Amino acid sequence: QVQLVESGGGLVQAGGSLSLSCAASGRTFSRSNMGWFRQAPGKEREFVAVIGWNGSIGTYADSVKGRFTISRDNAKNTVYLQMNSLKSEDTAVYYCAADLSRAGKDNWGADYWGQGTQVTVSS
């Protein structure tokens, strides 16, 4: 059974930083892309970032570009999201995903999803 388990969410002040982790189990994703999405209250889930299977390519939503960094450790079957210069509008539940596919500029789907971790940025 495939599981993606996020950790590292919490409450932070605007301008601060948080680091999220997502540990995968049940199969290896070393040849799959992995990524992050988020869903703010009352809004649809949106794409945040994706990283290629070898970690060499990262693609970001315009809203987080320059502030967030995605990385991965295939030996640990884990993907990370370092979030800096956080803003109140970054408040959302953050979801880890694997085997992403793209239908448009920021229109991504995924085959596997985590349960989500809450990130709250206070202004």
104 pLDDT higher than 90: no
Look at residue 55 in the predicted model and tell me its pLDDT.
85
Average pLDDT over residues 59-87: 97
- The H or E element containing residue 95 is strand 92-102
Q: How far apart are CA 28 and CA 87, in angstroms?
A: 34
Q: How far apart are CA 59 and CA 118, in angstroms?
A: 22
Look at residue 106 in the predicted model and tell me its pLDDT.
80
Question: What mean pLDDT value characterizes the chain?
Answer: 95
Confidence of residue 61 (pLDDT cuts 50, 70, 90): very high
For residue 22, give both structure tokens.
Answer: 């997502």
Q: How far apart are CA 27 and CA 24, in angstroms?
A: 7
52 pLDDT higher than 90: yes
Strands of 3-7's sheet in order across: 3-7, 18-25, 78-83, 68-73
